[in-house]
Structure formats: structure tokens, C-alpha cells
A and B are shown apart, each in its own frame.
Chain A
Amino acid sequence: MPTVVYVKPDGTRQEVHLESGTTVMQGAVDNMVEGILGDCGGCCSCATCHVYVDEAWVDKVGKPDDVERDMLEFVINPKETSRLSCQIVVSDELDGLVVHLPESQY
């Protein structure tokens, strides 16, 4: 099972093993990673699962689609590496993925 590492703003790391096919948001909800809410259940409506993809992983994770990009523009402190984690599907390719959590989702 691929591993995803969630890094809190204070630097604390939480490493979880996720089934391929699950999303980085659902993985956080299922493992009580604080700081990712995912209120809408993953339909890209709420932008409460904002993360910063670690620089080393940006290319592999890829770019957001139009809807996601529009929402990301107005999250708190957007960066080039911002993604909504409900739109990142975990796979063997992404084994070891590191995402950084923002200070706040809203």
C-alpha cells in the first residue's frame, strides 16, 4: 500500500498507508489527520482539503483542472503548489508522497 506523509505547519509528520484509488483527502479523514476537513465528501465543492504538494512531488501529482484551479485561487494563502487533496488519487506512482497542511482551511 502506498504511503502518504502529511506535514503539519509545526513540522510534525504523520505517515499513513492508503489503498490505491483512495484520495489524499479521504486518507486524511480516515486517519484523523487534523487540518483536512473534506466537508463535501470529495466532490470539489468546499475547498476545505487544501494542501501544498511538496516541491519534489509537484510534477508527479500534476496540475489541477479548471474548477479546482478557480477555487484554489481564493483559498487562504494559495501557492504554486496548492491542490485540493480530494482531487489527488493515491497510486503506487505516488508512494511516498509528501503534502504540507496549511495553517487554516478558512
Chain B
Amino acid sequence: MAKERCIIVGASHAAAQLAPTLRQHGYEGSIAVIGDEYFLPYHRPPLSKDFLAGKKSIDDILIRPPAVYQKNNIRFVLGLTVTGIDRANKHLLLDDGEQIPYDKLVLTVGARVRRLEVPGVDKKGIFYLRTLADVQQIKAYAGKARHAVIVGGGYIGLETAASLRKLGMEVVVLEALPRVLARVTAPEVSAFYTRVHAEEGVRIVTDAQVAEFLGDGEVREVALADGRTFPADLVIIGIGIIPNTEMAAEAGLEVDNGIVVDEFARTSDPDILAAGDCTCHFNPIYGRRVRLESVQNAVDQATIAALTLCGQPRPYRALPWFWSDQYDLKLQIAGLSQGYDQVVIRGDIERGRSFAAFYLKEGKLLAVDAVNRPQEFMLGKRLIAEGVEVDPSLLRQENFALKGLLAR
């Protein structure tokens, strides 16, 4: 019998975890990773931080050095775009008309940036920030820039604002909603980030609907719908991402805000698995389907997919967690806060730079946002995962040692 052929589409963080993990667990078939970017899998989080700031090189942010893949007989085909899946014949279709056969297919195709559709958005000096190539372009252009405007007050926008501010630029963040981080945090936490950015010299403007980019070839100004204008010689747009699900949907796989996978990372076709930002899965801790945009999910779900392919299935039930570094703020997030009915703050969120926000629903802990509070983050992870009942009033008391909440 010919060796089984496993093709991984998307040279992403998930792929960098999946392929070597297959070998680690004894996978004997051939493994090839096809990516449309020209780089081996790299860490995306530093793109808006140390890589943008010039403190890290491409080699520094590669997830694994090339030798690891060579040693494990993992082939990479980079700069190639897969356009379709012929499930009946088990072939991938490429943009140059070629076909590639597979026995097992894993989609780690990630997500792409949401585009802003306004006049002038194609002017020089306006960028998105998702890929290494995006940031290379930003760095090549930004050398002489003085006035940066960031469109979007989410984590990417705020991290980018902090990085550019540290490089000495004047920075304005334009957020369409009434507060930054509105989709992911409580109003108290949004207010905290707005204050710290102001203290660092970044201006955050909310309820700001971008109407047009002005300038003669190169961007010079951003105009809002209400008529306000902001000078800009560099614009970075970070208004969210869209999962790359079209190819899966066209192939008839179940898609519902992400490629739907079960607890073993299998799609509705048993020979096709998926992992990472492109997927939607049922999370048993929260009792609902979630689509996560995170390194944690990419790594953990890819591991699950590898185990499934090696015939050693293990169900996926990890607690989601995230992080974001801005200035001297180390934010660590445990869990998902959506649906909370109570927020308890531990620490001085109004004046200090260290606090934890605990999100509860009906007395049960859902999530923790911990800024410069690694203990609260670590403890929160365990309390949520273990479903420990907590008394909200204790969480608030700084003189109460949180350790006492763990199972006795």
C-alpha cells in the first residue's frame, strides 16, 4: 500500500504545531504544508510589537527553525494558492490549474483582514496589519512618517499605537464605537486603556466613522463622517478579521462563522480536519460554539488534530486564553467574558497600572482580564477550568490571598 499522504493547507501557527506533532506521535505518511505566504510559520503577535519596533528579525519570530521540519521530513511548498477542494477525487486545486492529491487534508487557513470600504483607501501610506509582509511594507514606508492614524481600537490597533508612539510618532486612534475594546472587555477596562494611552501621549477618538482618506497619491488626512479631520502620513487599519471559510463552504463542508469541527478537529468530511482561527467548535466549558482568534487555539486544536490523525484521539476542551502587551502593560486574559452579568475589579483601575477584572455570570467565574497581575491570571485559569464557586466580594479584597479559593 502506498504511504498515506497528508496535506496541510496554510503555513500558519497551527501548521507549525500540527506537522511536527504528527511525527512525534508516529505518523508515517508523507506530510506537506502548502502556504500562500513566502515564509515558514512565524509568530504573529510580535508583528504589531517587537517586529514592528525593529527589535526582532524574521529569524527571531519563526516558530521553529527550518532544520526541525527537514529532520522530521515535513515538506513546505510556499507561495502557492489553493483555490478549491475536489472531495470526490480527493484533490486540491491550485490557482495555476495544477492538482495535488491527498488522503488526509487539514485546513489551517486562518483569517484575513476585514477591509475598510471608503473613498481614498487605496492611497499610498495606508496599510493593514496581519502578515509579516504587511509589516515589512509598513516599516519600509514609515521611516519619515510623523503623524500616524490607527483605524480601529481593538487589540491590534492599540498595540500598534503603542509601538508607533514608542518610535516617536504622533498617534491618533479612531474607534467607530463609543469605547475601545468594546467587543471584548468591560467598560471599566476600556476606560483604563483609554487613560493609559492618553498618559502615553496617544489620542483616542471614539464614535469616529471614517468617511474618506485625502491626499494627492499619498495619504495626508483622514476625514470623519462628522467633518472632523486628522493629519496623517501613515494609516494602519485594524478593524478585525474574517475567517477563510469560502473554500471549505464551496467544497460542501459545514460552515457556521468558521469551518465547523467536532471535538477531534474533524470537519463534516472525516478525511478533512481543520484547526485555528478558521474553525468554529463547541466549547464544553462555555456550552456553546465559539470561533477563537488566538495562538492558544491554533496550538491546542492543531495538537488535537494531529492526535486524531495518528489514531490516538483526545477531545478538545482547553480553556481559551489570550494576551496583549502595550507599553508596560502586560494583559493576560483567561476565558471568554461574553454574557457576563457582573464585573469585580481587584486593584486600582482608575489610577494605577495593575488590576484584575473578574467577569461573572450568575456567580460563576467566566473570565479574567489581568493587567500586570500574573497571579490573578494563572489563578483565574484554574478557577474557571475547575468550575470553582467564588464569592465575588472576596475577589475584590486585596488583603485576601486568592490562593485560598483553590480546591482545599
Contacts and interface: CB of A to CB of B under 8 A. Distances in A.
A interacts with B: yes
Given A32-B68, A32-B72, A70 B375 contact: yes
Interface in B345-368: none
Given A32-B24, A32-B72, A39-B295, A45 B332 contact: yes
Interface string B355-388: 0000000000000000001110111011001000
B68 A30 contact: yes
Interface of B: 20, 23-24, 43, 45-46, 61, 63-65, 67-68, 72, 295-296, 299, 318, 321, 323, 325, 330, 332, 373-375, 377-379, 381-382, 385, 403
A71 B378 contact: yes
5 contacts: A68-B374, A70-B375, A71-B377, A73-B378, A74-B382
A74 B378 contact: yes
Counting chain A residues whose Cβ lies within 8 A of the other chain, the interface size class is 20 to 34
Contacts of B323: 40, 43, 45-46
A61 interface: no
Given A40-B323, A43-B325, A46-B323, A30 B65 contact: yes
A37 B299 contact: yes
Given A45-B330, A67-B374, A32 B382 contact: no
A45 B330 CA distance: 8
Contacts of A43: 45, 323, 325
Q: Which of B67, B374, B385 has the most CB of A within 10 A?
A: B374
B80 to A, nearest CB: 26
What 8 A-B pairs are tightest by C-beta distance, nearest first? A74-B378, A45-B323, A70-B374, A71-B374, A70-B375, A41-B43, A74-B379, A39-B299
A34 interface: yes
Interface string A52-86: 00000000000000011011011100000000000
Interface string A14-50: 0000000000000001111010010111011111000
Instruction: Determine the main DSSP class of A at the interface with B.
Output: loop
B296 A39 contact: yes
Contacts of A47: 374, 378
B77 to A, nearest CB: 22
Nearest to A45: B323
Instruction: Determine the main DSSP class of B at the interface with A.
Output: helix
B200 to A, nearest CB: 20
Interface of A: 29-32, 34, 37, 39-41, 43-47, 67-68, 70-71, 73-75, 106
Nearest to B333: A45
B378 A75 contact: yes
A30 B64 contact: yes
B383 to A, nearest CB: 10
B305 to A, nearest CB: 16
B24 A34 contact: yes
Contacts of B299: 37, 39
Contacts of A37: 299
A40 B295 contact: yes
Contact of B330 (A29, A67, A73): A67
Given A29-B64, A41-B61, A70-B374, A46 B43 contact: no
Nearest to B298: A39
A45 B259 CA distance: 28
Q: Which of A32, A41, A47 has the most CB of B within 10 A?
A: A41
B20 A73 contact: no
A31 B69 CA distance: 10
A71 B372 CA distance: 11
Nearest to A73: B375
A106 B379 CA distance: 12
Contacts of A45: 323, 325, 330, 332
A67 B323 CA distance: 14
Contacts of B325: 43, 45
